[in-house]
Structure 1
Amino acid sequence: MADQMVLQAQKFVNATYGSRIGMTVKEDGQTGWNTMYALTRALQWELGISPVSNSFGPGTLSALQSKHPKINASTAPSADFIRIVQSALYCKGYDGGGIDGKFSDRVASSIALLKQRMGVDQVYKGSDLVPKVFKGLLNMDAYVTVGNGTDTIRSIQQWLNGRYVNRQDFFIVPCDGIYSRDVAKAMIYAVQYEMGMADGTANGNFGPGTQDGLKNHTVAVGAKGTWVLLFTAAMIFNRRYGVSFEGAFTAGLADAVREFQSFVKLPVTGAGDFSTWASLLVSFGDQSRKGEACDCVTKITPARAAALKAEGVKYVGRYLYNPAAVPSGSTKEKEIQPGELETIAGSGLRCFPIYQTYGRGKDSFSAPQGTADAISAVMHAERHGFKPGTRIYFAVDFDAVDDEVTSNVIPHFQGINDGIESTGGKYLVGVYGPRNVCSRVSELRLADASFVSDMSYAFSGNFGYPMPNNWAFDQIVTKTVGSGDGSINVDINIAQGRDIGQNSFDPSPSSGSGLDVEFNNTFWDALRADIRAYMESVGVPESNWYTKWTTTEAIDFVLSWDNVFTDLARRYRMRKALIQIPVLWEMRHYNVSNILKVDDRYSDAAVYQYHTGKLPDWWPDKITESMRDSSTGLAQIFGVTAINARNLAVDRGLLSATSRRNPDDDADLFEIWTKLRTNNSFTIATVPFVHMYHASLIGVAGPTVDSSEADTEKVLIRYQGTTEDATTEGRKRMGLYRVFEKYYAPMREHA
């Protein structure tokens, strides 16, 4: 909802400064960073700073301190200058007294209230607007408790501001009751100031000087004063419930400290010693700690295993898969190497698996990609011999901000859980990433244990967030262990004991069993040309005006997902081409002609309306009949068919019992139908079960890698239906199967 005074502020800054500061803002009456940036630039223009920028940095603060150290009714520089102040007040939710250029009593009263809420009213008495308060006025920080904030944390924030605001590099932090990155850094500044560090030396970093100083400031029962206040503040920020913000170290506080030390696997002393301070102030804590676990991208040899054992390591994290090419003979063998797990187990170590492809930005994370990753992870875990019940840690190896966790990471882990379920539910899901990622994913029960990347302490998802409750491994430092042949660079992890990895393995059969292998992309163009020629020969041109995808687009999609198709084919011992063909064929025939009852989206909209009582936003607002089910998704599978096929897979032990659904239950049907329509990975993973189901209906065994061409053709025909037309169309698919096999068979033979 638009605020009329914010709207006036936006109009003012656009009309008065737009051409001067190189930007204008949207006039919508809603406060946002762009409006604050424009007001900051307007202030800089008034101060004579050039070029102007969005940042209220040291130059702006210095110029303001030099020219206008105290702004009030008698020192007001100009009417427009005061209009900037008034506009900022309205954008922060305070009375600006109109935007008339006058430093009125109403303006003065609002500034006094602002300072009181910041906690600096005893330092900056009265209603003068001073530079650091001005800086706090021109940002989006709140100075009242908001959302999930607490009044206790707000009181600590106000105390920090009031005690340290006059220090050179300390700036007013939010007083919103929420522990955040800025507040976490302010705490380190506070510790440095109390140690006696001078302005310019104190920098908010947890460096060697700060660490050495903290070793001289252990607090324990009986201690009183500022150090205890800082310690209790740090405990509260880390969500140690029942702790009060006070300056006396009580027996009750000692109990809470012991509980915290036990939680993060520190020596349980009940005192605020260096290691405890470190764990409270920064995510990696005391990096001199010995860790019982490590993870690495280097092969574990007998010599390296011996070096790790001598270091006290019990558990080793290794990667299931490496999508990047690795030079022959490289020692940086990220993926578990042949014979390596036997070396690990034989050396008395245990291994926990990690799955990561690239994953260093939000675009690598989505529900379909999560399902694909899970399918791939399961296949590689089976290939390496990890037994049922093993937990696989799926990596989020980037600084995901909270909005990206919501939009990308959580759907990705929903997809991972679908993928784990689709491949039998035999493995558990863990999450590797910053604290906020681990906590949010785990709170939704999308992972049951966290491998925390605490070493990346500057990540926004670590700085200001407490340790996840379900942590299993805490990554704290990189170091080289051993020497000579035993030298290995690893990340040291603290082990909580929740996950002890595996020490025996049962590898799946090798590729020499006649199973399909991953496609050799050298033949991509040749296979594409052959498929296009075949499709033309059976009356399917490169494109039609009424279909969504061209033949080439359908081919390229299928080939780009080759690793998933390959993993499924190997897992279920059937031919890869048999799984790919329904996807390619149905993609090429997906109708988007926008003619009712011909457009494939019409049927989907009708099903959506049946189950929700409304039309979806992706379908034009036209009258449509309701339908309980339709063929949907890339492979055009009916929801009921998918349920029956997946139930058969449960009966055969290929899926866990939790995968069973009732085809007569509307809620179950809509759940599976929606996944088919929206999650490509789920659809692809369902195709093998549909083939098994159809084979059972027509009395054909398998299908397996040993199925005859006649039986394979029967399965392809049954996928199309039971009519005479289905027989004709199914036989066309069989021809396509032979085109694929022209390339796949030699690849199997030379694997």
Structure 2
Amino acid sequence: MADAMVERAQRFINSTYNNGAMLGISKLEEDGKTGWTVMYALTRALQYEMGITSLSNAFGPTTLSTLQSKYPSINASTVPSANFCRIIQSALYCKGYDGGEIDGTYNSRVQSAVAQLKLHMGVDGAYPGTSLEPKVVKALLTMDAYVSLSGGNEQIRTVQRWLNARYVNRRDFYIIPADGYHSRDVAKSMLFAIQYELGMADGVANGNFGPGTQSGLKSHTVGQGNSSTWAYLFTAAMVLNKRNVLFGEFTGGVQSEVETFQAFSMLPVTGVGDYATWSSLLVSYGDQTRRGSACDCVTKITPERAQTLVNAGYAYVGRYLYNPFPNGKLPEKQIQPGELETIKAYGLRCFPIYQTFSDSLSYFKYGQGCVDGTNAVEWARAHGFKPGSIIYFAVDYDAMDGEVTSNILPHFRGVSRTVTENSGYRVGVYGPRNICQRVTDAGYAETAFVSDMSAGFSGNLGYPLPTKWAFDQISTITVGSGAGSINIDNDMASGRDQGQADFDPPAGIVSGLDRDLNQAAYKAPLLADIQSYLTSIGVPETGGEGWTADGDWVTYGVISTTEAFNMVLSADYLFTNLARTLKIRKALIQAPVLWELRKLNPLDAVSDEAVKAGLRDDSSTGWGQIFAKVAIDARNYCIRQGLLNASPLTYEADLKSVWDQLQDPEYNIRSVAYLTMFNSYQLGIPSPSLTTSLADTQALLARYNGTGPKAEQYGRELVGLYQVLENYNALSRA
């Protein structure tokens, strides 16, 4: 929402600093909206007013030290200039405080706002009065909030203000948010606080969980009745990990919650704040000397290595279903022939992991999730994993929370839908804590394999252990010697996933399956050949006339050939996945969809509107122009045949819901594929396969339009389109 005073602050920057040119930035948009762009501009303006020549968005050591030396306490008597004061006033408005009209005077309204700001931060005791101290200025020029935000936790806010109050005068401690939310900065401030209480001097304390911190914590166990600063720090850590305790003394209630936390985290249940518990509260990997009962590795489990793992107390081993670089530096990353038999023979249990190039934001999208789901199912079956196995799909980078929303969740929606509809396998997620929690909360994964070794990831700092964690990766170690030596990631196991102890005979990967079209090579010639073929049978690039299935003569061509082609190509991943899942030719699904899109006519829209208005109960609709009743019959057939995992549908209960879902191109295309399988049953011919004859293919395409002479003509026309599509699909899978 726009704010008139923020807009005035933006105008001040633009008018005073030559539309940003003097600050090395572009002109600010005068929209009245606070954001980092405005805060960066104010930071640069402050640097400019202090005579710093190398301007930066960052309020770093140079800016802070210059401010401390020149203006250690800014007030009405010491503010150096009107513009300097306007920067402060503008920042106050951007923070939601009264900046006194941005008039260049440190007036009573500014003084009142500064006092309120410091109270909200919790530093009013350390910095009494209405002056601005350098660390407060630094905090003022951020987007951090110092009042409770919507959904914020008041206990967390109490901890934040307490940390600010107690440690703000230490050299390397900077004011943290007081908004009721745990965060990376808050997590780091806790480590500084621990180090300060251990007696580390400024310059020695660094906010890292290093040997000195670890050693010191071992002598600071806290338990019931303790009311020292250490009890406050321990309960603060519990609060920040979303445990149900009150910040303060170590009471009986705290002890009970500690026991719950220890059991949840697979720690010894002692009821006291011992070193192992401190560690798990402060850093994601916790006490790395712990030995888990699970591991994962990129090395083949040989008999010697299996014996090593058993001797070391391991029960579960995670192995990779697929290796995109089998001849690279990790040649044994993928499960090797005979390996699962060895795992079984030594009494170990295996949990499968699927990972390809999942190390950057650009990889993650809905379509790629569908592809990954299909490929993982194929490989799981090829290795012999039984239905019920949980496959862990990897997110191997530090995704920001916004990226989880924009990319990771849609990706896992694709994974989940593909895996659960088309196999008996289940979905797990591997990644940092925030990703694991959000994906499981969304229902796209049942359990989580947490990459807690990456303690510096923003998705781990400030986030508690996910509620549905199954495996927790905490350290990399080497166990065994000689032929039995193996490097592993040491994982804690919660018992939520027992892995697999028995396996089907390896099935291998079916050869000759379709792949995504090589669009760089074949998109243009494929379109040209489709246009040529359709023109040859009386379907021009645009427009056209013909009979509908209902016997109406209509002008069609709501969509041109090129538009229909591009729509089909936009869902190429889905056609590929369905073809690979059902072990049929992709063109058998593409041809009717492209044809129906090209043949859309105004009467189709009229029928759809009649259903929406309740005047009809059904119509052929969506990309593939399918009746809801037909989609129900097709899906129920595939459910009975074990091709689709879903609950049976009925006309009475599900007709309107299915019709609505058919408006979604993805659901519609899937229904086209299932209808193709059902049509073979209706025709009494073999189910389509990779080797279905051209005659049966034509019969299947004809049945898509029903029965009778018009359907037969439909089949004759579509089989030619099928052949054009299949020619290029064959080239892409070669």
Q: TM-score, normalised by structure 1?
A: 0.87
Question: Retained in 2: the 8 A contact 1:554–1:588?
Answer: no
Q: 1:178 to 1:295 in 2, by over 3 A?
A: same
Are 1:372 and 2:371 an aligned pair? Answer: yes
Question: Retained in 1: the 8 A contact 2:115–2:124?
Answer: yes
Question: Retained in 1: the 8 A contact 2:239–2:246?
Answer: yes
Question: Retained in 1: the 8 A contact 2:564–2:597?
Answer: no
Corresponding residue SS for 2:471: strand
How far apart are the structure 1 equivalents of 2:375 and 2:655?
31
Question: Retained in 2: the 8 A contact 1:164–1:170?
Answer: yes
- Per-residue deviation, 1:737: 5.0
Opposite residue 632 of structure 1, the aligned amino acid is G
Q: Partner of 2:647 in structure 1?
A: 658
Q: 1:25 to 1:337 in 2, by over 3 A?
A: same
Question: Retained in 2: the 8 A contact 1:565–1:580?
Answer: no
Q: Partner of 1:568 in structure 2?
A: 581
Corresponding residue SS for 1:285: coil
Q: Partner of 1:136 in structure 2?
A: 139
How far apart are the structure 2 equivalents of 1:127 and 1:527?
68
Opposite residue 296 of structure 2, the aligned amino acid is D
How far apart are the structure 1 equivalents of 2:429 and 2:515?
30
Give deviations 1:637-657, integer Å, cap 9, x for gaps: 454433321111112233234
Q: 1:240 to 1:483 in 2, by over 3 A?
A: same
Opposite residue 447 of structure 2, the aligned amino acid is A
Residue correspondence of structure 1 range 397-546 to structure 2 within 5 A: 397-424=396-423, 426-507=424-505, 509-510=507-508, 516-517=512-513, 533=529, 536-537=532-533, 539=535, 544=541
Q: Partner of 2:12 in structure 1?
A: 12
Q: Partner of 1:619 in structure 2?
A: none
Q: 1:526 to 1:154 in 2, by over 3 A?
A: closer
Residue in structure 2 matching 1:98, options 97, 101, 104: 101
How far apart are the structure 2 equivalents of 1:511 and 1:120?
64
Give deviations 1:439-476, integer Å, cap 9, x for gaps: 12222332221111111111111110111111111111
Q: Partner of 1:583 in structure 2?
A: 590
Q: 1:497 to 1:505 in 2, by over 3 A?
A: same
Moved more, 308-317 or 273-282: 308-317
Question: Retained in 2: the 8 A contact 1:23–1:38?
Answer: no
Opposite residue 657 of structure 2, the aligned amino acid is D
How far apart are the structure 1 equivalents of 2:440 and 2:530?
49
Question: Retained in 2: the 8 A contact 1:119–1:161?
Answer: yes
Q: Partner of 2:551 in structure 1?
A: none
How far apart are the structure 1 equivalents of 2:157 and 2:473?
31
- Per-residue deviation, 1:45: 0.8
Corresponding residue SS for 1:437: helix
Question: Retained in 1: the 8 A contact 2:591–2:725?
Answer: no
Q: Partner of 1:207 in structure 2?
A: 210
Question: Retained in 2: the 8 A contact 1:662–1:668?
Answer: no
Opposite residue 96 of structure 1, the aligned amino acid is G
Opposite residue 638 of structure 2, the aligned amino acid is A
Question: Retained in 2: the 8 A contact 1:610–1:627?
Answer: yes
Give deviations 1:231-254, integer Å, cap 9, x for gaps: 01001111111x2211x3333322
How far apart are the structure 1 equivalents of 2:127 and 2:314?
54
Are 1:699 and 2:684 an aligned pair? Answer: yes
- Per-residue deviation, 1:695: 2.1
Residue in structure 2 matching 1:709, options 684, 694, 697: 694
How far apart are the structure 1 equivalents of 2:160 and 2:320?
42
Q: 1:717 to 1:53 in 2, by over 3 A?
A: same
Aligned residues: 714
Q: Partner of 1:632 in structure 2?
A: 622
Moved more, 684-693 or 461-470: 684-693
Q: 1:199 to 1:671 in 2, by over 3 A?
A: farther
- Per-residue deviation, 1:486: 2.8
Corresponding residue SS for 1:700: coil
- Per-residue deviation, 1:699: 3.2
How far apart are the structure 2 equivalents of 1:427 and 1:612?
40
Opposite residue 396 of structure 2, the aligned amino acid is D
Are 1:313 and 2:314 an aligned pair? Answer: yes
How far apart are the structure 1 equivalents of 2:672 and 2:477?
46
Give deviations 1:28-67, integer Å, cap 9, x for gaps: 1121111111111111111111221111111111111111
Q: 1:609 to 1:391 in 2, by over 3 A?
A: farther
Give deviations 1:579-619, integer Å, cap 9, x for gaps: 334325634774599xx729x9x68xx84896599xxxxxx
Question: Retained in 1: the 8 A contact 2:391–2:426?
Answer: yes
Corresponding residue SS for 1:72: coil
How far apart are the structure 1 equivalents of 2:378 and 2:626?
24
Are 1:244 and 2:233 an aligned pair? Answer: no
How far apart are the structure 1 equivalents of 2:517 and 2:599?
31
Corresponding residue SS for 2:403: helix
Are 1:220 and 2:223 an aligned pair? Answer: yes
- Per-residue deviation, 1:292: 0.8
Question: Retained in 2: the 8 A contact 1:643–1:661?
Answer: yes
Q: 1:360 to 1:250 in 2, by over 3 A?
A: same
Corresponding residue SS for 1:632: coil
Opposite residue 581 of structure 2, the aligned amino acid is L
Question: Retained in 2: the 8 A contact 1:531–1:739?
Answer: no
Corresponding residue SS for 1:209: helix
Give deviations 1:84-116, integer Å, cap 9, x for gaps: 111111111111111110110111111011111
Residue in structure 1 matching 2:65, options 62, 69, 80: 62
Opposite residue 339 of structure 1, the aligned amino acid is G
Corresponding residue SS for 1:539: helix
Q: Partner of 2:602 in structure 1?
A: 597
Q: 1:36 to 1:558 in 2, by over 3 A?
A: closer
Q: Partner of 2:32 in structure 1?
A: 29
- Per-residue deviation, 1:285: 0.6
- Per-residue deviation, 1:119: 0.7
Opposite residue 399 of structure 2, the aligned amino acid is A
How far apart are the structure 2 equivalents of 1:412 and 1:120?
44
Q: Partner of 2:555 in structure 1?
A: none
Residue correspondence of structure 1 range 650-689 to structure 2 within 5 A: 650-658=639-647, 660=649, 662=651, 665=654, 667-675=656-664, 677=665, 679=666, 685-689=670-674
How far apart are the structure 2 equivalents of 1:374 and 1:65?
56
Opposite residue 351 of structure 2, the aligned amino acid is F
Q: 1:273 to 1:746 in 2, by over 3 A?
A: same
- Per-residue deviation, 1:73: 0.7
Q: 1:148 to 1:486 in 2, by over 3 A?
A: same
Residue correspondence of structure 1 range 343-354 to structure 2 within 5 A: 343-354=342-353
Are 1:718 and 2:716 an aligned pair? Answer: no
Opposite residue 503 of structure 1, the aligned amino acid is A
Q: 1:649 to 1:121 in 2, by over 3 A?
A: same
Opposite residue 590 of structure 2, the aligned amino acid is V
How far apart are the structure 2 equivalents of 1:628 and 1:12?
61
Q: TM-score, normalised by structure 2?
A: 0.89
Question: Retained in 1: the 8 A contact 2:680–2:686?
Answer: yes
Ranges in structure 1 where 5+ consecutive residues have no aligned partner: 571-575, 614-624
How far apart are the structure 1 equivalents of 2:229 and 2:63?
32
Opposite residue 317 of structure 2, the aligned amino acid is V
How far apart are the structure 2 equivalents of 1:544 and 1:568?
33
Give deviations 1:472-494, integer Å, cap 9, x for gaps: 11111122333333333222110
